[in-house]
Amino acid sequence: MLLRPLYFLLLLTLGATQLTACAQVPDKVPTAAAGAPAAAQLPWLRHLLDSSAVLRPHLVGLVLADADSGQVLFAQNDAKYFAPASNMKLFTLYAGLKLLPDSLPSLRYFSRGDTLFFQGTGDPTFLHGDVPSRRAFDFLQKAPGLLASCDIACSPPYGPGWPWDDFGYYFQPERGAFPIYGHTVRFYAQPPVGKVPSRLRVLPRHFAPLTGPVPAALRTPNIDADTHVIRALDENRFYVVAPFNKKWIDEVPFRTSRAFTLRLLGDTLRRPLVGAPWRPRPTDAVRTLRGLPVDSLYRRMLRVSDNFLAEQLLLMASTTVGLHDSLSTQRVIRFVRKKYFGTLPDPVAWADGSGLSRQNLVTPRTLVALLVRLHQEVPERRLLSLLAAGGHQGTLRRRYHDAAGPWVWGKTGSLTNNTNLSGYLRTKSGRLLAFTFLNNNHVADSGDVRNEMERVLRQVRARL
């Protein structure tokens, strides 16, 4: 009976000691304790998110991990699924790194008699306005004899879940087996200079006769103030809705078809073409013409978030999977998901190469696991050079400035009501973190969300 008061006194003492220890949790913990929720390891960061008037109303996913070890330092909503938008291009990059050679496959061909038979492989760089390659152009233009263009089955021009009414915007060109000019028309308004009147240059010039003033029937109040040229829904007719007294440049996708590609290619090469089936004989030597270094495509795709290049990259990668009888986005997605992504934390709902589709869904912890894997498999200098660099170039050139140089390298991802960023962050202590910061279903202005993301990440940089 005398021991019972001493027993309770001992319990009270131990409880007080534990409460004191909990009250003295350090503000910065370098690693997550085994079995403890990662979000509890950085209470100051959790407070930043919870107290933000901009971030609090919508769904926020944030995961930080050590880029070398993969150890998670912080996680909020890490197991929930988000629409990643263009962050899906990181999965497309991984597919390309695993399946494509060091230089792009530009076209496949074989010769028989005086005829060169050739077939597209999805290479998007044929006279592309931003990553142009003349390798295939020069090869076809100088080839002796007759040119026979052979069709190949290909995924539909638009991906699943793409918005139909974005057909006229530069960011949604049609996919195809043999792209030419990036499947877009470029318009250059040139204001008057001296006695030279204003004029409009149209490239390729094939589309100049198809361009004119907008008819009254198509003039609607719904035309965006920043729009200069619009296209008819079902045909290659382009209508100018902006004056030429100021300099501007616009890009509008054109409609593709097998017959139109043949005609445009023949007009570009300035030599006759015929269409023919792809039927190589056992004695025919089928070869692949190589084009630009593959990093030139990755770099453009990731830095400026080029949707067309991402889509074409998956089509090219599909030539290395299974038979060569078609170019299939879904075939390569199924292959990569099964062969390489089985060990990721969660299954990936993967619909396209660009992230345009809202059918894409991924968890923050899976995105960070992919970033850690990329860092483990690709030399760091090369990997960071492919991404947009804060304060320097790409989609991050106007944010994350620092006089000492870049400290954030990432891939942005934006859809209406969704603003995301995933990549790598160098802390003041020199540590490289893999991170993903996803914001879905917000009604706040996207600029306000980006400002708040930068405020939070600057704190991460300073305190870790």
Are 113 and 261 found together in one domain? yes
Closest C-alpha among 69, 99, 162, 128 to residue 351: 162
Residue 4 belongs to a domain: no
Are 312 and 170 found together in one domain? no
Domain edge (last residue) among 288, 303, 318: 303
Are 171 and 276 found together in one domain? yes
Residue range of the domain that includes 66: 38-96+304-463
In this prediction, residue 192 carries a pLDDT of 86
Residue 6 belongs to a domain: no
Residue 15 belongs to a domain: no
Q: What single DSSP character describes residue 193?
A: B
Residue 402 belongs to a domain: yes
Q: How far apart, in whole angstroms, are the C-alpha atoms of residue 310 and residue 92?
A: 7
| Residue where the block lists tokens 């103030």 | 225
Q: How far apart, in whole angstroms, are the C-alpha atoms of residue 414 and residue 420?
A: 6
Tell me, yes or no, if the pTM score tops 0.75: yes
Are 80 and 219 found together in one domain? no
Are 330 and 433 found together in one domain? yes
Residue 17 belongs to a domain: no
Which SS3 state, helix, strand or coil, does residue 54 take?
A: coil
Closest C-alpha among 54, 148, 80 to residue 110: 148
Are 216 and 335 found together in one domain? no
Are 110 and 84 found together in one domain? no
Are 268 and 389 found together in one domain? no
Are 277 and 392 found together in one domain? no
Q: How far apart, in whole angstroms, are the C-alpha atoms of residue 194 and residue 199?
A: 13
Amino acid type, 31: T
Are 346 and 398 found together in one domain? yes
Q: What is the sign of the dihedral through the CA atoms of 37, 446, 367 and 167? A: positive
**Cβ atoms of 456 and 42 closer than 8 Å:** no
Output the six-digit token pair for 175. 């996919």
Residue 345 belongs to a domain: yes
Q: How many domains does the chain have?
A: 2
Domain edge (last residue) among 303, 327, 351: 303
**Cβ atoms of 75 and 45 closer than 8 Å:** no
Closest C-alpha among 439, 442, 331, 450 to residue 397: 450
Residue 30 belongs to a domain: no
Domain edge (last residue) among 303, 319, 341: 303
Residue 295 belongs to a domain: yes
Length of the chain: 464
Strand partners, 64: 74, 435
**Cβ atoms of 161 and 359 closer than 8 Å:** yes
Are 279 and 342 found together in one domain? no
Q: Going residue by residue through the chain (464 aa), what tens digit of pLDDT does each one get?
A: 444 444 433 344 444 444 333 333 334 333 333 334 544 479 999 999 999 999 999 999 999 999 999 999 999 999 999 999 999 999 999 999 999 999 999 999 999 999 999 999 999 999 999 998 999 999 999 999 999 999 999 999 999 999 999 999 999 999 999 999 999 999 999 988 888 888 899 999 999 999 998 887 767 666 777 789 999 899 999 999 888 888 999 999 999 999 999 999 999 999 999 999 999 999 999 999 999 999 999 999 999 999 999 999 999 999 998 777 899 999 999 999 999 999 999 999 999 999 999 999 999 999 999 999 999 999 999 999 999 999 999 999 999 999 989 999 999 999 999 999 999 999 999 999 999 999 999 999 999 999 999 999 999 999 99
Instruction: Classify residue 34 by burial, with Cβ atoms within 10 Å: 0-12, 13-18, 19+.
Output: exposed
| Residue where the block lists tokens 């930080």 | 64
369: domain CATH number?
A: 3.40.710.10
- DSSP string over 239-303: EE-S-SSS-EEEEEE----HHHHHHHHHHHHTS-EEEE-----TTS--EEEEEEEHHHHHHHHHH
Q: What is the sign of the dihedral through the CA atoms of 233, 237, 241 and 242? A: positive
In this prediction, residue 221 carries a pLDDT of 66
In this prediction, residue 124 carries a pLDDT of 96
Output the six-digit token pair for 305. 């978030």
Phi, psi values for residue 389, rounded to 5°: -110, 125
71: enclosing H helix or E strand: none
Beta strands in 294-431 (DSSP E): 326-327, 388-389, 408-415, 418-426
In this prediction, residue 231 carries a pLDDT of 92
Are 232 and 136 found together in one domain? yes
